[in-house]
Structure 1
Amino acid sequence: MIRVDCAVADAERLAGYADEVLGPPTTWRPAPPGYPDSLALCVIDAIWSIGVRYAGVENVVERYRTSRQRAGGDPDRDGLPELLEHFERIGGPETFAAEVNNRQRVSTHSGAVLKAEAVYQAALGLTEAQVGTCEELRVAATGPHQAQVKNAWVDVPGQGSGISWRYLLMLVGLPGVKPDRWICRFVARALGRATIVPDTAACLVVESSNLMGVSPTSLDHEIWRYERGIR
C-alpha cells in the first residue's frame, strides 16, 4: 500500500491559505451536481475530463445527450445497460467517437486507446462488477467490495492513476476531491513545495475541508475555479 503523507500541520496550513485566497465559503459558487441519476454520463465525463479543457467534455456530453434523445432515450437517466446498448446500436467505440466528434485518446503515448474505447471498457468492467446505476455505484464504492469495483475502473487503459475514479464518485454524488493538476498546483503553492503527488493533495484537501467546516467537493470546486481563473 502506498503511504499518503497527510500531516495535520500541512492540512492546517492549507486551510489557512484557502481561507486567505478563496474568501469565506458563503461567497463560493456551489459545485455542480454531477449526474446523480445517469451513470452513463458520469462515466463519459470522468474519462473525457482527464487532461483536457472542460468545455470539450461538455460538448461530448451534449452530443451524447442529443443522440440518445433522437433515439427516444433519456440520457439523464441512462445506466450502463443503456450506454452499452447505445454502443452496440451505433457500431462500437470508433463510431461513438465520430458521433461525439471527439477522437481524443487516454494519453499521448503511442498506441493509446481512444477515450471512447475507454468509456466502453469501463462500462463493461463496472457491469461485470455488478454495477449499472449511480445508486449501485454509491453503495458499492462505500461497501465491503469497494476494492473490486475500483479495480474494474483503474484496470481500464488510462485510468490507473485513480484520479478519474475519484472524480467518477464525485459525479454520482459522493463527497470527494479530484486531484488533477489544478488542485495539486494549489496545494503545492500553499505548502511552499514545487510539486505534490495527487493522493497527498486529495487527502490534504479533505482534511482541510473538515477544518473549514465545508464539504470536500465544495473546497475542490472553489480551488479549481480559482486556479482556472474563473473566479
Structure 2
Amino acid sequence: MTTDAATIERLAVYCEAHLPLTQATPPGSYHSLPLCMLDAIFPIGVRYAAAFAVVCRYAEHRRITVEELPALPPIEEQVTTSAFLDDYAHYGGDGMADRILRNRQRTSPRNGILKAAAVERWAKVLAEAGIETMQNAQGKFVSPDGDLPEPAIKEALLAIPGQRSGVSLEYFILLLGDEMRIKPDRRVKRFVDAALGVHVEDNARVIHLLQQASARLAPSYPNLTPRRLDKLIWEQQRAEQVRRSCRDNL
C-alpha cells in the first residue's frame, strides 16, 4: 500500500469510527444567492455563530427564510444578485455593514477590507457574469468534473482581498450543492489532524484526502459524498466543542 493510500485508509477508518455515516443525507439549499455569498465570506477566521448571525440579519431584512430548503424556490421569489447590490447602492457600504449586517469584521487583521465590502465585490463579479439566482449560479459553478467556475470568474473572485486561499470559493460552491466539494475550515482540518495524528496545513491536500476517503467509504455508504461527509464532520466537531465547553465550565 502506498503512503497516500495508507493515509486515505486511515482517514476512512477514523471517519467510520467517529461519524454517523449512515445518516449522510443531502444538505438543503439556501433560499437566495446573497445568503450563500454572506455565508461563504463572513465565517473566515471567526466563530461560525457570529457569521451566521449576519446571514440571519440579511434574511430578516429581506423577509426570507434562512432554513435549509429541500428544493430551490421559484426564481421570481428569490433575492437576486442585482437586488442585493441595490441594497448596497441604497444604504452604502458602511450602511450595509452598520445597519443591515451589523458587522464590521475585516477579511484580515492586517490590510483587510470590511467583509461587507468583500461580499459587495463578490456580488459585482457575479452580476457582471449574469449570475443572478441560485439556478444561474449552479449552472456556472457546479460541475461533476470540478472544472467550474470559468477561469475569469474564479480569478476575479480570488482577487478580492482576503480570498486568495480559495476557502470561501470552495464553500460557496458547496453551498450551491456541488456534492464533490469540501470546505477546509478549522473544524474540518482539526478532524483530519486528529485522524492522522499530524497537522495537514495545505487546503488542497485536506480536500483531496477527504474526497478520496469519501470514495473509499462509498461502497459501504452509498449516500455518502464529499459534501455530505463535510457536513457530518462539521456537526461532529461542533458537538465536540460544546462538550469541551461544558467540561471546562464544571
Q: TM-score, normalised by structure 1?
A: 0.85
Shift in CA distance, 145/115, structure 1 to aligned 2, threshold 3 Å: closer
Structure 1: runs of 5 or more not aligned:
1-5
Shift in CA distance, 135/27, structure 1 to aligned 2, threshold 3 Å: closer
Once residues 62 and 39 of structure 2 are traced to their aligned partners in structure 1, the CA distance between those partners, rounded to angstroms, is 16
Does residue 33 (structure 1) correspond to residue 8 (structure 2)? The answer is: no
Does residue 171 (structure 1) correspond to residue 167 (structure 2)? The answer is: no
Which of these residues, 48, 60, 70, is aligned with residue 66 of structure 1?
Answer: 60
Once residues 217 and 39 of structure 1 are traced to their aligned partners in structure 2, the CA distance between those partners, rounded to angstroms, is 18
Once residues 181 and 67 of structure 1 are traced to their aligned partners in structure 2, the CA distance between those partners, rounded to angstroms, is 30
Structure 2: runs of 5 or more not aligned:
65-74, 219-223, 244-250
- Give the residue type in structure 2 aligned to 1:207: Q
Does residue 13 (structure 1) correspond to residue 13 (structure 2)? The answer is: no
Shift in CA distance, 192/157, structure 1 to aligned 2, threshold 3 Å: same
CA offset digits 1:1-38 (Å, max 9, x no partner) = xxxxx93332222111111122x41246x564241x41
Once residues 56 and 31 of structure 1 are traced to their aligned partners in structure 2, the CA distance between those partners, rounded to angstroms, is 25
Q: CA deviation at 1:192?
A: 2.2
Q: TM-score, normalised by structure 2?
A: 0.79
CA offset digits 1:11-67 (Å, max 9, x no partner) = 222111111122x41246x564241x4111100111111111121122111211222
Q: What residue is the counterpart of 2:214 in the other structure?
A: 209
> Bigger CA drift: 204-213 or 159-168?
204-213
Once residues 167 and 104 of structure 1 are traced to their aligned partners in structure 2, the CA distance between those partners, rounded to angstroms, is 19
Q: What residue is the counterpart of 1:3 in the other structure?
A: none
Which of these residues, 222, 228, 232, is aligned with residue 222 of structure 1?
Answer: 232
Q: What residue is the counterpart of 2:46 in the other structure?
A: 52
CA offset digits 1:170-199 (Å, max 9, x no partner) = 111112110011111211222221333111
- Give the residue type in structure 1 aligned to 2:52: E
Once residues 237 and 148 of structure 2 are traced to their aligned partners in structure 1, the CA distance between those partners, rounded to angstroms, is 36
User: 3-state SS of the aligned residue for 2:83?
Assistant: helix
The correspondence of residues 24-173 of structure 1 with structure 2, limited to 5 A, is 24-27=20-23, 30=25, 32-35=27-30, 37-69=31-63, 77-90=78-91, 92-99=92-99, 100-109=101-110, 111-141=111-141, 142=143, 146-173=150-177
Once residues 200 and 119 of structure 1 are traced to their aligned partners in structure 2, the CA distance between those partners, rounded to angstroms, is 27
Query: Please, what is the CA RMSD of the aligned residues?
Result: 2.4
User: 3-state SS of the aligned residue for 2:63?
Assistant: helix
Once residues 223 and 199 of structure 1 are traced to their aligned partners in structure 2, the CA distance between those partners, rounded to angstroms, is 17
Q: Is the 8 A contact 1:65 1:75 kept in 2?
A: no
Aligned pairs, number: 218
- Give the residue type in structure 1 aligned to 2:232: E
User: 3-state SS of the aligned residue for 1:132?
Assistant: coil
Shift in CA distance, 174/52, structure 1 to aligned 2, threshold 3 Å: same
Point out 4+ residue stretches in structure 1 off by more than 6 angstroms: none
Shift in CA distance, 75/209, structure 1 to aligned 2, threshold 3 Å: farther
> Bigger CA drift: 168-177 or 122-131?
122-131
